[in-house]
Amino acid sequence: MAREVRRRRTFAIISHPDAGKSTMTEALALHARMISEAGAIHGKAGRKSTVSDWMEMEKARGISVSSTALQFNYTPSGSPAAPPDDPDATYVINLVDTPGHADFSEDTYRVLTAVDAAVMLIDAAKGLEPQTLKLFQVCRHRGIPVITVINKWDRPGQTPLELIDEITERIGLIPTPLLLPVGIAGDFRGLLDRRTGEYVAFTRTAGGAKIAPEEIMDADAASAREGGEWESALEESELLSEMGQDHDQEMFLAGQTSPMIFASAMLNFGVRQLLEALVALAPAPSGRASVSGDVRVPTDPFSAVVFKVQAGMDTSHRDRLAFMRIVSGEFERGMVVTHAQTGKPFATKYAQAVFGRDRSTVDRAYPGDVVGLVNAMTLAPGDSLFTGPKVQFPPIPSFAPEHFSSLRATTADKYKQFRKGMDQLDSEGVVQVLRNDLRGDMAPVLAAVGPMQFEVVTARLKSEFNVDTVIEGLGYSLARRTDEASAAELNRQRGVEVFTRTDGALLALFSDKWRLQFVEKEHPELTLDPLVAAAD
C-alpha cells in the first residue's frame, strides 16, 4: 500500500481560457505514450480535437466546458528531475483537465477539492490573467502546491524575468525556474537545465503531432551552438541564484515558491521536463480531514469523495459516471461501501478508469486514483463513500449564482424527456435548478455563475434527450439564502422572488443590489445570508 501511494500523482491543470490547457493535457499523454499522435488546438481545418474535450460544444468552440479525468503511467527517464529514491519506478498519473472559462469556475473548484497539486499554465505573451489569479487563490486557500508553466514560448511574448517579477508582485508566489529558455519568446531553441548546467535542444516535428526529439549537450557545446542566446540564459540563471530563487522542496510544499518551466505544448517542447518535475516534486496522496476534524490517512480503511458527476459521455449507453477520488485504503471492484449521506450500502460492480471519453474496467485502485462509478444515480458532488469506521468529508459548496433564466420545452409532448434531462443536469451540478409554486415544473429557473452554462444545458438537452428548449433571461442579478419564516414577506417585495433549490435551500432572488439593500434596511429581521462567491 505504501509503495502504491508513493507512486501516485494527482493534479489539475488550471489556467485562463486559451492558455493551451487542453493542448498541454494531450501533450502529457503523448509523452507518456498513451496516444501515438497529439491532437491540436480546436477549430482549425483538418486538425484533430484533443482527447480530453469530448463534447460537441467543446470541439466546435475550441474551449473546455467540463472537467475530464485522464489516468496513465509514466516512467521517468532517469534525468535529474526523476525521483532520486526510485528513478526507475513507474508512476500513476491522475490528471484532471479543468474548464478554463470563468463561467465554469464551479466545476474547476470541485476538481481542486480532489487533487494534491496544480499546474498553473500562463500564456507567455499575456502573463497573469484574471481567471488565473482567481484559481491560484483557490489553490492557496486549499494548500495546494503549484508548479508554474510558461506556455507558448514559441510565440512572441514577455521576457522570463518580466514574467517572474509579475508573478512575484501580483500573487506573492516566488517562482524558482528549474529550466530557463534559450532563445527569446518566439524563437524557442531549447532549455537550460539549471540543476545540471546542461542544454536540452529541441527539434520541431510536423504540426507538433509527435514527441519532439531532444539533444542533451554540455555547456561548451551549447555555447558553441547558440552563442549569445546561451550566454543570456546563463546570466539570467546566475541572477536568479543570487536572488535565492533556486528550488527548495519545503518552501514549494508550503506554498511559498513555485517551480517554473518554460514550454510549448503545441510543439511538445518542455513537456517531458514538466512530467518529470511532477513525479519528482509534486506530493503523493496524504490525509484528508473529515467534518468531525479527524484525518483519514491513506493507510486507513477505504474512503473516497465524489467530486464530479457526468452523463452523456457514452452515447450508445447513456449512462452516468460519478468520479470519485480515493482518499484511503484499497478499492476493489465489486466491494460494497457505505454512502455517508444516506447511510445506505452502495455496490461498486461497475468501476472504470477514464481516459477522455474512453474507458477501461478498474479491478483495483489506490489513494490518489480517480475512479468512475457507472450509473451511480444516488451520488452527487461532495458525497463520501467508506468502509470501516464512518467518515464524511466536508461538502463542496455551491457558488453564488449571478445569472438567472427560465427554461421550457418547445413542445408539451417532450415534457417527460425534458424533466428527465433537467434532473440529470441538476444532479451533475451543471446549473442550479430553482422551482416555486408560481412557475411550476414546466418552466424551472436556472441559476448559473456564467451565461455559457445555459448554453451547455440547451445543447445537452438537444443532443442527449432530443428536446428543443427556449430559454428566457430573468431580471435578477443576485441571490441570498433565506428561510421559511422570511419567505412570505420577501415574496411580497417588488423585484424579489423566493425559490427552492433541489437540495432544499431557499434562495431569494433580487433584481439588483439596491433592491437588496432596501429590503435589508426596511426588514432587518429577515434572513438574507450571502452564498459562496466564485471569486472567493
Q: Please write down the HEC assignment for all residues of 383-452.
A: CEEECCCCCCCCCCCCECCCEEEEEEECCHHHHHHHHHHHHHHHHHCCCEEEECCCCCCCCCEEEECCCH
| Alpha-helix runs per DSSP H in 264-316 | 271-281
SS3 380: coil
Edge-to-edge order in the sheet of strand 214-217:
179-182, 190-193, 199-202, 214-217
The residues near 434 (Cβ < 8 Å, ≥ 6 apart) are: 404, 444, 445, 446, 447, 499, 500, 501, 507, 509
Give the homologous superfamily in CATH for domain 3-7+9-90+97-281: P-loop containing nucleotide triphosphate hydrolases (3.40.50.300)
For the segment 399-409, the average pLDDT, to the nearest whole number, is 90
| Topology annotation, domain 288-386 | Rossmann fold (3.40.50)
pLDDT tier, 43 (very low <50, low <70, confident <90, very high otherwise): very low
pLDDT tier, 525 (very low <50, low <70, confident <90, very high otherwise): very high
SS3 468: coil
Spatial separation of the C-alpha atoms in residues 30 and 52, rounded to whole Å: 12
Check whether 250 has a pLDDT greater than 90: yes
For the segment 150-172, the average pLDDT, to the nearest whole number, is 95
For residue 159, say whether it is annotated as part of any ligand binding site: no
| 345 phi, psi to nearest 5 deg | -70, 150
For residue 42, say whether it is annotated as part of any ligand binding site: no
Angstrom CA distances, 196 to 179, 211, 359, 405, stand at 10, 23, 40, 57
pLDDT tier, 316 (very low <50, low <70, confident <90, very high otherwise): low
Spatial separation of the C-alpha atoms in residues 445 and 416, rounded to whole Å: 17
Residue, of 528 and 427, whose pLDDT is higher: 528
Average pLDDT across the chain, whole number: 86
Check whether 533 has a pLDDT greater than 70: no
Predicted pLDDT at 85: 56
Spatial separation of the C-alpha atoms in residues 417 and 423, rounded to whole Å: 10
For the segment 160-181, the average pLDDT, to the nearest whole number, is 95
Predicted pLDDT at 319: 66
Question: Nine-digit cell at 416?
Answer: 417527460
Spatial separation of the C-alpha atoms in residues 257 and 140, rounded to whole Å: 11
Predicted pLDDT at 65: 44
Spatial separation of the C-alpha atoms in residues 222 and 218, rounded to whole Å: 6
Spatial separation of the C-alpha atoms in residues 502 and 383, rounded to whole Å: 15
For residue 100, say whether it is annotated as part of any ligand binding site: yes
Give the domain ranges of the chain.
3-7+9-90+97-281, 288-386, 403-522
Contact in structure between 228 and 236 (CB atoms under 8 Å): no
Name the one residue in this structure whose C-alpha cell is 499522435: 37
Residue, of 80 and 210, whose pLDDT is higher: 210
Predicted pLDDT at 100: 56
In single-letter form, the type of residue at position 416 comes to K
Report which secondary-structure segment, H or E, holds 328.
strand 320-328
Check whether 407 has a pLDDT greater than 80: yes
The structure's pTM equals 0.81
For residue 227, say whether it is annotated as part of any ligand binding site: no
Report which secondary-structure segment, H or E, holds 161.
helix 160-171
- Other Cβ atoms closer than 10 A to 528: 19
Does 288-386 match 3-7+9-90+97-281 at the fold level? yes
Contact in structure between 289 and 392 (CB atoms under 8 Å): no
For residue 458, say whether it is annotated as part of any ligand binding site: no
Predicted pLDDT at 88: 55
Predicted pLDDT at 81: 52
| 56 phi, psi to nearest 5 deg | -60, -35
The residues near 450 (Cβ < 8 Å, ≥ 6 apart) are: 101, 102, 103, 104, 105, 402, 403
Question: 3-state DSSP helix/strand/coil percent for the chain, to nearest 5?
Answer: 30, 30, 45
Question: Nine-digit cell at 415?
Answer: 415534457
Predicted pLDDT at 535: 44
For the segment 442-452, the average pLDDT, to the nearest whole number, is 88
| Alpha-helix runs per DSSP H in 227-343 | 228-242, 249-253, 271-281
| Pick among 3.10.20.30, 3.40.50.720, 3.40.1360.10, 3.30.70.3280: CATH of 403-522 | 3.30.70.3280
The residues near 456 (Cβ < 8 Å, ≥ 6 apart) are: 57, 65, 66, 430, 431
In DSSP terms, which residues pair with 360 in a beta bridge?
353
Predicted pLDDT at 21: 84
Q: What would the pLDDT profile of 331-369 be if each residue is shown by its tens digit?
A: 999 999 999 999 999 999 888 877 656 778 889 999 999
Predicted pLDDT at 47: 39
